[in-house]
Structure 1
Amino acid sequence: MSLSGFASPWWLLFLIVVAALGVAYVVVQRRRLAHTLRFTNFELLDKVAPDRPGRSRHVPVALLLVGLALLTVALAGPTAEQRVPRNRATVVLAIDVSLSMESTDIEPSRLAAAQEAAKDFADGLTPGINLGLVAFSGTASVLVSPTTNRAATKTAIDQLQLSERTATGEAIFTSMQAIDTLAAVLGGGDQAPPARIVLLSDGKQTVPESPDDPRGGFTAARQAADKGIPVSTISFGTQYGTVTIEDERIAVPVDDPSLEEIANLSGGSFFTASSLEELHGAYDTLEEQIGFETTRGDASRPWLLLGVLAVTGGLVAAMVLRQRLP
């Protein structure tokens, strides 16, 4: 751990004192031994004290010095990275409900699998996060405004209905509006709570045709980046998915490039999922990214406990081995 990892690093200078005490003890022991060798009658000493103390006599002092060193580190206030649950954040889950989500390349269908995984995602988020739900096809609608009420969100997920076309840009714009509305209602603080959009889709934007249109997905992603709202995208489906519309079988392959570009433009993460298991994995990763933040916190307790134990051990050893305190 570097010096920057301590709250009060100057306390570490006390380690010099601890080291000096260790050196002083060694010097005193050597002088005592030299004095003994010079003036002692060994024949008489063997008769009076045949069992002289061995190296174990140094154990109490060694433990006390180690304890002092550990307590010194504790006083310096060591810090460490800690994962802390977020208690104030907003997430909007935007789910594609275009007709292509009826494809059964992922059983029982893309939509049914997406609904199951989305409910698990809602349950897995830390309780303090406000979760909203947006459904989009040719238009986008806020089905549940961001709230900590997971039951409302899961009920709305169960009631998703398919419709025509795909307006990815509208989904992002609508999600940002829901985030702004909640931030205005919450008020307080100089900054709005951190927010993120999680967008699941299986196909290419069709409304408008160009993603760079003022209401297109790329334009929306750039605006989200300007507002500091990352859009994490999940491309859900396979390249061989099909749906039947008016007795005509139509190919509905996933469109990874556009969804990846949206994530890149907005500063979010991009995931692909061609099975329910992979979708669960993507959501699990997002839960870790969204639900927790890494902060530096106090890490002195282990050093303090070890220091107290070492000092206590030194005192006990002194009384047991030498029948007196050092």
Structure 2
Amino acid sequence: MSLTGFASPWWFLLLIAVAAVAVGYVLAQRARRKRTMRFANLDLLEKVAPKSQGWVRHLPAVLIVLSLLLLTVALAGPTAEQKVPRNRATVMLVIDVSLSMEATDVLPTRLQAAQEAATSFARNMTPGINLGLISFAGTATVLVNPTTDRNGVIKAIENLKLAQSTATGEGIFAALQSVESFSSVVGGADGPPPARIVLMSDGKQTVPEDLYAARGGYTAAQAAKQAGVPISSISFGTTHGSVDIDGKAQPVSVDDESLREIARLSGGDFYKAASAEELKKVYADLGEQIGYELKDADASKPWVVVGTLILMLGAAASLFFGQRLP
């Protein structure tokens, strides 16, 4: 166990008393030996005295002192860094449903692989997270507002439909609006809950073509930065994807550059997934990162348990070797 500190370190003052007990035991043993040597007839003592138990007779005292040390540490309130579920956060899952998601470079299709991974992400998200869902193609649609009910999100993911164009900025702006509306309702004395956008897309923005336009992806990412809502962007697909449009194969190469820049501008992280398995791993990593946080939590229980067990062993050893409690 790696300790990070103690909640009540002043309890360590009890170690003075523990040390006094240990010193008192040693002095008592020496005094007892001196009395024995002074008044006993050594020849007679060797004949009638039981055979000495040696160091074993000190075992009960050693165990009891050790237990007092451990229990003192427990009273001092040791803390350790532990992973605990978040109870208050908002996550907007924003999924690209443009026609390029029909490409089969990721089997069975990009969309089906994305649906499976997103479903697993929603199902495994910690209960305290409020999860919402937005799909976007030429426009953005809020399918599920932030909620702790996973069934609605999962059903909406299963019913995603493809459409023309890619308006990445609209998807981000819709997510920011949803976060703001939800935060205004649930925000209390502690302020609005922390929020994050998980953006998954496979292609370059087409509406508008300029990413720095008023409704462009880069402008939306800058707005997310100002709102304190980082974007975790996932670039999904390969450079050799294609879709059939009017009987003609059209290349739909994944656009890593713009999604990486969106993450950077928002203060978030960029992820690359070129296969269904890689996408599942990305979502799993995000689930751990978003759903849990590291906190200094109470770690005294192991010290109490071990200290109590050793104290019981000390008492048992005293009864066994000395037929009495110390």
TM-score scaled to structure 2, two decimals? 0.93
Classify 1:70/1:47 alpha carbon distance in 2 versus 1 (closer, same or farther; 3 Å): same
1:143 partnered with 2:143: yes
Structure 1 residue 80 displacement after superposition: 1.6
Range that drifts further, 187-196 or 298-307: 187-196
Aligned to 2:134: 134
Aligned to 2:268: 268
Give the letter for the 1:301 counterpart: K
Give the letter for the 1:130 counterpart: N
Give the letter for the 1:265 counterpart: L
Conservation of the 8 A alpha-carbon contact between 2:18 and 2:69: yes
Deviations 1:236-270 (A, max 9, x none): 10111111222332211111122122222222222
1:73 partnered with 2:73: yes
Aligned to 2:254: 254
Classify 1:70/1:127 alpha carbon distance in 2 versus 1 (closer, same or farther; 3 Å): same
Conservation of the 8 A alpha-carbon contact between 1:71 and 1:304: yes
Aligned to 1:297: 297
**Distance in structure 2 (CA, Å) of the matches to 1:216 and 1:274:** 25
Range that drifts further, 279-288 or 311-320: 311-320
Structure 1 residue 230 displacement after superposition: 1.4
Aligned to 1:229: 229
Alignment of 1:7-156 (within 5 A): 7-34=7-34, 36-37=36-37, 40-156=40-156
Equivalent pairs, count? 326
Aligned to 2:207: 207
Range that drifts further, 109-118 or 187-196: 187-196
Range that drifts further, 305-314 or 232-241: 305-314
Give the letter for the 1:178 counterpart: S
Classify 1:6/1:117 alpha carbon distance in 2 versus 1 (closer, same or farther; 3 Å): same
| Structure 1: segments with no counterpart, 5+ residues | none
The SS at the match of 1:5 is strand
**Distance in structure 2 (CA, Å) of the matches to 1:16 and 1:3:** 22
**Distance in structure 1 (CA, Å) of the matches to 2:258 and 2:29:** 76
Aligned to 2:179: 179
Conservation of the 8 A alpha-carbon contact between 1:3 and 1:9: no
Deviations 1:269-310 (A, max 9, x none): 221111111111111111111112222221111111222222
RMSD of aligned Cα (Å): 2.0
Residue identity over aligned pairs, in percent, reads 58
**Distance in structure 2 (CA, Å) of the matches to 1:199 and 1:281:** 15
Conservation of the 8 A alpha-carbon contact between 2:259 and 2:270: yes
| Structure 2: segments with no counterpart, 5+ residues | none
TM-score scaled to structure 1, two decimals? 0.93
